[in-house]
Structure 1
Amino acid sequence: MDEYTPKERLARALKGESVDRMPAISVTQTGTVEQMEACGAFWPEANEDAEKMATLAEAGHKVIGFEAVRVPFDITAEAEFFGCDIKAGTKEQQPSVVGHIVKSMDDIAKLKDYDISKGRVGVVCEAIRILAEKYGNELPIMGSMLGPFSLAQHMNGDDWFMAIMTDEEFGHALMELTTEFNIAYAKKMVENGADTMVIIDPTASAMLIGDEFYQKFVVPAHKKIADAMRELNVATVLHICGDTTPSLPLMESSGVDAISVDQNVDAATACGMVDKAVIIGNLDPVSALWKKTPEEIQKISQDVLDTGVGLLAPGCGIVSKTPNANLQAMVEAAKSHKY
């Protein structure tokens, strides 16, 4: 079988095509304190400065061995872009959304005129440009964004879960805004060099809102993003937190190329629940990758590989205190696996 560049290998793997071996990647956030110390780019500055963001993303490749570079590291830039209050992060902790801005249809109308180059979403796009200029011919350049349902929840607060059930006009209007933003943001990342797009939509779970509302509000939004990326020949990966096992067919119906499942999902079952989508996962980022030894990680990785996953990866974002050696053990397990 032909050998491929990392860029070719991941592109083929995400389409379910044959490759020489498994790519070694993480579709969720990659930054850790040990990588920051190795490259000199630290949170929170690496969340806000394009050069430092690119440097820390590069450390995932140069220090850990991931065969892709990926930004950003947090999921608050989108909400901050629209004006939500953000609690600043630290070297070890990610920023979080603490204030919401949308309560009415009038609030939504006021947010429709925006400039995608502004704020931290602009910083992410610039970091992608920096990485693409350096690695774009060889490595996959992975862009990631908070998905439209979770962005709507950040903007509306906890009222959002009730709003979609009691005021569908409002719910659809806010989802239309966030979905159009996601598409514009994704296109800008692609314009700057991204060739793979990850949708992180943690609260868009059928376990939280039920199949009916997932079908009504989430599937159409994800499908619009996946369709827009397909027109640009960009693969899409969808990650939703929690046990998404029962809703995997619904998730696949949006047309994404791959689904990242978290540690609460039985990976073997997940592989049998989808038709064409590639299943990615799902080492526990806390109890395994952070807490275990490299030798234990090798064994756990093999157990996950034995389930038939298409790509080995963390089940959620990597914990900032995760040792480099543990991530390197996962990477080596992936690199040594032939389908």
Structure 2
Amino acid sequence: MAEYTPKERLARALRGESVDRMPAVSVTQTATVEQMEACGAFWPEANDDAEKMAALAEAGHTVIGFEAVRVPFDISAEAEFFGCGIKAGTKEQQPSVSSHCVKDISDVEKLKGFDINQGRVATVCDAVKILAGKYGAELPIMGSMLGPFSLAQHMNGDDWFMAIMTDEAFATALLDLATEFNLAYANKMVDNGADTMVIIDPTASAMLIGDEYYNKFVVPAHKKIVDAMHERDVATVIHICGDTTMSLELMESSGVDGISVDQSVDVANAKSKVDKAVIIGNLDPVAALWKGTPESVKDVSQKALDAGVDLLAPGCGIVSKTPNAALQAMVEMAKNHKY
């Protein structure tokens, strides 16, 4: 079998095509304090400065061995773009949403006509361009963004879960705005060199909202993004937190290439639930990676590989205090695995 570049290998693996071995990647956030110390780019500055963001993303490759570079490291820039309050992060903690910006449909109307070239999302796009200029010929350039359902929830707060059930006009308008933003953001990242797109949509869970509302609101929004990316030959991955086992068929109906599952999902069962989608995961970021040893990481990695996981990866965002050695052990297991 031919030996592929990392870029070719991941693209083929996400499309279910034959490869020489498993790619070693993380589709969720990659930064850790040890990587920051190695490259000299630290949170929170690396969340707001394109050069530092790119340097820290690069450390995932040069320090850990991931065969891709990925930005950003948090899921609050999208809400910040629309005016939500943000709690500043630290060297060890990501920024988070502290207040919301949409109460009713009149607020949605005011936010239309946005300029994607503003704010921290523009910084992320600039970091993508830096990374693509340096690594685009060989490595996958992975862009990531908060998905439309969770973005709407950030903008509206916890009232959002009631809104989708009681105020369809408002819910549709806000979700349409969020999806329009996602499309513009994703396309801008692709314009700047991204070739893989990850949609992180943690609250878009059928466990939270039920299959009916997931199918009504989430699937069409995800499908618009996936279709737009496929038109540009960009592979797509969706990550939703929690036990998504019973909704994997719905998730796959968006046409997504890969589904990232967390540690609460049984990999073998997940594989049986999908038709074509690649199953990615699902090492526990806390128990397995942060708290584990290289030896224990290899043991739990082997269990995931034995269960048939298509891409070995963390089950959610990597904890900032995770040791390099634990992540390197996971990377080693992936690189040594032949399908």
Q: TM-score, normalised by structure 2?
A: 1.00
Matches of 1:101 and 1:19, distance apart in 2 = 46
Matches of 2:15 and 2:306, distance apart in 1 = 20
- Segments of structure 2 that go 5 or more residues without pairing to the other structure are none
Number of matched pairs: 339
Letter matched to residue 170 of structure 2: F
Give the superposition deviation at 1:272.
0.6
1:137-156 equivalent positions in 2, closer than 5 A? 137-156=137-156
1:319 corresponding residue in structure 2: 319
1:292 corresponding residue in structure 2: 292
Letter matched to residue 88 of structure 2: A
2:251 corresponding residue in structure 1: 251
Which digits, 9 at most, give the CA deviation of each residue in 1:151-202, with x for residues without a partner?
Answer: 0000000000000000011001000000010000000000000000000000
1:265 maps to 2:261: no
Matches of 2:58 and 2:95, distance apart in 1 = 21
Matches of 2:268 and 2:52, distance apart in 1 = 38
Partner secondary structure for residue 179 of structure 1:
helix
Matches of 1:301 and 1:177, distance apart in 2 = 40
Partner secondary structure for residue 54 of structure 2:
helix
1:121 corresponding residue in structure 2: 121
2:78 corresponding residue in structure 1: 78
Which digits, 9 at most, give the CA deviation of each residue in 1:291-317, with x for residues without a partner?
Answer: 010011011101001111110000000
Matches of 2:105 and 2:169, distance apart in 1 = 9
1:1-339 equivalent positions in 2, closer than 5 A? 1-339=1-339
**CA RMSD of the aligned region, Å?**
0.3
Matches of 1:313 and 1:299, distance apart in 2 = 14
Letter matched to residue 232 of structure 1: R
Letter matched to residue 291 of structure 1: K
Give the superposition deviation at 1:212.
0.3
Q: Percent identity?
A: 80
Letter matched to residue 18 of structure 2: S
Give the superposition deviation at 1:113.
1.3
Matches of 1:104 and 1:325, distance apart in 2 = 48
Matches of 2:104 and 2:162, distance apart in 1 = 14
Partner secondary structure for residue 157 of structure 2:
helix
Give the superposition deviation at 1:116.
0.4
Give the superposition deviation at 1:31.
0.3
Letter matched to residue 172 of structure 1: T
Q: Which runs of 4+ in 1 moved over 6 A?
A: none
Matches of 2:332 and 2:271, distance apart in 1 = 22
Letter matched to residue 123 of structure 1: T
Partner secondary structure for residue 288 of structure 2:
coil
Partner secondary structure for residue 259 of structure 2:
strand
Matches of 2:220 and 2:307, distance apart in 1 = 30
Partner secondary structure for residue 286 of structure 2:
coil
Partner secondary structure for residue 199 of structure 2:
strand
Letter matched to residue 60 of structure 1: G
Matches of 1:128 and 1:231, distance apart in 2 = 20
Partner secondary structure for residue 288 of structure 1:
helix
Give the superposition deviation at 1:254.
0.5
Partner secondary structure for residue 299 of structure 1:
helix
Give the superposition deviation at 1:75.
0.1
Letter matched to residue 6 of structure 1: P
